[in-house]
């Protein structure tokens, strides 16, 4: 069976933004998703739903001055000027429009947390949902998708090949007999992309679209690829979608796509050892500390949770403890992840520093020294600690709490290079006809390694590039001028709604 649509979206995470934007602009969309458990198992649903928006209406209402230029300056500072410039500028520019669109068109209950700052962001610009959890964000996206008569969702079904206009079919690509690909290897005369989709039983079918948006995540679940490109974090726990299997890299390479920043990734130094759930880094930004098994700190935790993952991985046993107090515990309960960590009993308590040292099997003298140094900075007696950390809003006070944490790899940040419209760039400096990429499928804006990762550098490219792709396609697509038209052909309405 060959299905004709305007846009095929591979991936039901951030790619849903592309589907919704395209439908809003009068296009018919088919979303193809490999995992039947995507609502709780993809990277969007596993995130903290934090989306940067520079100069948004939410910021203005809060009296916060921000702009795309300021956001770009923050990105440049965090990455030491190594961020991919085209995508960074496009995403900084569209970020405010994106969060406002999510609120106004999609119905996402966007909020602007201002009670703490994330590392590297010079002003509060992280927009989120009340639960601070990606599952809520994804639920709203899927609700809007289900309400649209222009979007179909095919799940479970995995994109295994794509043949853009004027691109030869790779010799090892098995396509169904009825795939509408001419003998010369190109797509039919009026252009477009033929996508080959595989069901769990191995059967395949083709989908003909004017364009294809690759939103299939990166390669972090491919352990061989991680060992090759990210050796410093290869031994850490992987905490992301099992379907991040480099599909976009493979499919893009077959289409002549260019790639970059494959050494970039998001790590996290705050995965609960017991709960295997994220301990929010808000615990740190509110004044908590991270100590190793001996009770010693080993750096400035406020450089960021991604960069600190590799630092934690070098500590004894590749594990440590986030130490906080009742004040921080209460503030952190705003995050669903932290509540889950607490509910499973992973947050230990102690009435004194010595008792805390006993609970976490640390050296009491070492732990007391760390608490005293943090208190000195918090009181103003010292401008910074020995690592240069200045952010200690208040001294930690008994009763104390502690959570054992381990380093984790969340997702890769390198991938297909895209232009300002999220079009995939080819190796000759042009673009691959009809091919777009978003999220982990595309090269992100974190520069190289993990140190350049800013909070939101996962979700913004996932949602923002998908939004830009759909907007660009609609602007050049004749169907977009007829928003009231009825779809000529519909796929199965939805599987696993």
Residues 202-229: tens digit of each pLDDT: 999 999 999 999 999 999 999 999 999 9
Q: Is a pLDDT exceeding 50 seen at residue 188? A: no
Whether the pLDDT of residue 469 is over 80: the answer is yes
What is the pLDDT, as a whole number, of residue 117? Answer: 87
Output the pLDDT for position 2.
56
Question: Would the pLDDT of 148 be above 90?
Answer: yes
* pLDDT > 80? residue 484: no
What integer pLDDT is reported at residue 477 of this predicted model?
A: 78
Give mean pLDDT, residues 259-279.
96
- DSSP per residue, 213-226: EE----STT-HHHH
3-state secondary structure of 487: coil
Q: Please report which confidence band the pLDDT of residue 164 belongs to, taking 50, 70 and 90 as the band edges.
A: confident
- Reply yes or no on whether the pLDDT at 174 is more than 70: no
Q: Residue 478 — pLDDT band, cuts 50, 70, 90? A: confident
**Confidence band for 487, pLDDT divided at 50, 70 and 90:** very low
User: How do beta strands 415-416 and 431-437 pair?
Assistant: unpaired
Q: For the stretch 36-47, what's the b/e string if a residue is b when 16 or more beta carbons lie within 10 angstroms of its beta carbon?
A: eebbeebbbbbb
Q: Supply the pTM of this predicted model.
A: 0.90
Does the pLDDT at position 136 exceed 90?
yes
**Cβ-proximal residues to 283 (8 Å cutoff; 6+ apart), any chain:** 270, 322, 324, 328, 332, 338, 403
Average pLDDT over residues 387-393: 97
Max distance between CA atoms of the chain, in angstroms, equals 77
Looking at residue 40, what is its pLDDT? 87
Quick one: pLDDT at residue 183?
A: 35
CATH architecture for residues 266-409? Alpha-Beta Complex (3.90)
Q: Degrees (nearest 5) of the Cα angle 62, 68, 71?
A: 80
In terms of Cβ atoms closer than 10 Å to its own Cβ (0-12, 13-18, 19+), residue 64 is middle
Residue corresponding to tokens 């599909």: 247
Mean pLDDT value across residues 171-181: 42
Backbone angles phi, psi at 8, to 5 degrees: -105, 125
β-strand partners of 300:
none
* Euclidean distance between CA atoms 222 and 229, whole angstroms: 11
Question: What confidence tier does 495 reach under pLDDT thresholds 50, 70, 90?
Answer: very low
The pLDDT of residue 181 is 37
Q: Looking at domain 2-220+413-481, does it have CATH number 3.50.50.60?
A: yes
Residue 490 contacts by C-beta under 8 Å, 6 or more apart in sequence? 152
Report the share of the chain in percent with pLDDT over 70: 90
Compute the average pLDDT of residues 136-146: 97
Q: Give residue-wise pLDDT tens across range 345-377.
A: 999 999 999 999 999 999 999 999 999 999 999
Mean per-residue pLDDT for 71-90? 97
Domains of the chain, residue spans: 2-220+413-481, 266-409
Give me the mean pLDDT over the 475-487 stretch: 59
CB atoms within 10 A of CB 57: 15
**In terms of C-beta density within 10 A (0-12 exposed, 13-18 middle, 19 or more buried), how is residue 418 classed?**
buried
Q: Answer yes or no: is pLDDT of 178 > 60.
A: no
pLDDT digits (tens, 9 = 90+) for 297-343: 999 999 999 999 999 999 999 999 999 999 999 999 999 999 999 99
pLDDT for 220 equals 97
Work out whether the CA dihedral 301, 306, 311, 313 comes out positive or negative: positive
pLDDT at 480: 60
Per-residue pLDDT at 173 = 44
pLDDT of residue 492: 44
Per-residue pLDDT tens over the stretch 100-110: 999 999 999 99
Give the pLDDT of residue 56. Answer: 98
pLDDT tens profile 392-432: 999 999 999 999 999 999 999 999 999 999 999 999 989 99
Alpha-carbon distance of 372 to 377, in angstroms, equals: 9
Residues 135-162, mean pLDDT to the nearest whole number:
97
The pLDDT of residue 338 is: 96
pLDDT of residue 150: 97
Query: Is the torsion defined by CA of 408, 280, 116, 335 positive or negative?
Result: positive
pLDDT band at 496 (very low <50, low <70, confident <90, very high): very low
- For residue 51, what are the CA distances in angstroms to 137, 240, 348, 410, 462? 11, 18, 31, 16, 10
Contacts of residues 339-347 at CB distance under 8 Å and 24 or more positions apart, as own/partner, are: 340/275, 340/277, 341/272, 341/274, 341/275, 341/277, 341/278, 341/279, 341/403, 344/274, 344/275, 344/277, 345/274, 346/272, 346/273, 346/274, 346/275, 346/403, 346/404, 347/401, 347/402, 347/403
Helix/strand/coil for 378 = helix
Beta strands 431-437 and 423-425 are: antiparallel
User: In 3D, which of 155, 109, 115 has the Cα closest to residue 136?
Assistant: 109
């Amino acid at each position: 069976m060959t299905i004709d649509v305007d846009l095929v979206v591979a991936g039901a995470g951030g790619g849903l933004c592309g589907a919704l934007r395209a439908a809003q602009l009068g296009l018919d969309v088919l979303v193809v998703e490999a995992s039947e458990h995507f609502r709780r198992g993809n990277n969007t649903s596993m995130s903290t739903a934090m989306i940067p928006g520079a100069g948004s209406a939410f910021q203005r209402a809060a009296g916060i001055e921000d702009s795309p230029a300021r956001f770009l300056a923050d990105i440049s500072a965090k990455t030491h000027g190594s961020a991919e410039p085209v995508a960074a500028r496009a995403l900084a520019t569209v970020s405010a429009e994106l969060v406002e669109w999510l609120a106004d068109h999609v119905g996402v209950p966007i909020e602007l947390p201002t009670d703490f700052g994330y590392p590297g962001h010079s002003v509060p610009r992280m927009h989120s949902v009340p639960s601070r959890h990606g599952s809520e964000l994804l639920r709203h996206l899927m609700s809007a998708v289900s309400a649209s008569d222009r979007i179909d969702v095919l799940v479970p079904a995995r994109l295994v090949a794509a043949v853009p206009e004027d691109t030869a079919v790779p010799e090892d690509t098995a396509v169904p007999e009825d795939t509408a690909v001419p003998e010369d290897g190109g797509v039919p005369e009026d252009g477009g992309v033929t996508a080959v989709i595989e069901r769990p039983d191995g059967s395949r079918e083709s989908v003909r679209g004017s364009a294809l948006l690759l939103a299939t995540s990166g390669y972090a679940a491919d352990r061989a690829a991680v060992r090759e490109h990210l050796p410093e974090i290869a031994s850490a726990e992987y905490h992301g979608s099992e379907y991040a299997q480099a599909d976009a890299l493979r499919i893009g390479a077959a289409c002549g796509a260019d790639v970059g920043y494959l050494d970039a990734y998001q790590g996290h130094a705050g995965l609960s050892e017991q709960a295997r759930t994220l301990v929010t880094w808000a615990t740190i930004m509110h004044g908590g500390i991270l100590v190793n098994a001996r009770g010693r700190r080993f750096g400035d935790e406020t450089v960021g949770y991604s960069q600190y993952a590799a630092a934690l991985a070098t500590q004894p046993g590749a594990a440590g403890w986030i130490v906080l107090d009742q004040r921080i515990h209460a503030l952190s309960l705003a995050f669903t992840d932290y509540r889950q960590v607490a509910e499973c009993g992973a947050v230990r308590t102690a009435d004194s520093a010595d008792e805390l040292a006993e609970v976490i099997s640390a050296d009491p003298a070492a732990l007391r020294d760390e608490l005293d140094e943090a208190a000195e900075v918090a009181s103003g007696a010292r401008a910074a600690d020995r690592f240069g950390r200045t952010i200690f809003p208040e001294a930690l006070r008994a009763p104390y709490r502690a959570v054992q944490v381990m380093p984790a790899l969340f997702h890769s940040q390198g991938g297909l290079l895209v232009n300002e419209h999220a079009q995939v760039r080819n190796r000759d400096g042009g673009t691959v006809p009809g091919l777009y990429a978003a999220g982990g499928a595309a090269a992100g804006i974190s520069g190289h390694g993990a140190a350049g990762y800013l909070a939101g550098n996962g979700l913004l490219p996932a949602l923002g590039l998908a939004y830009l792709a759909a907007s660009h396609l609609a602007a050049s697509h004749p169907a977009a001028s007829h928003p009231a038209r009825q779809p000529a052909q519909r796929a199965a309405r939805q599987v696993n709604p």
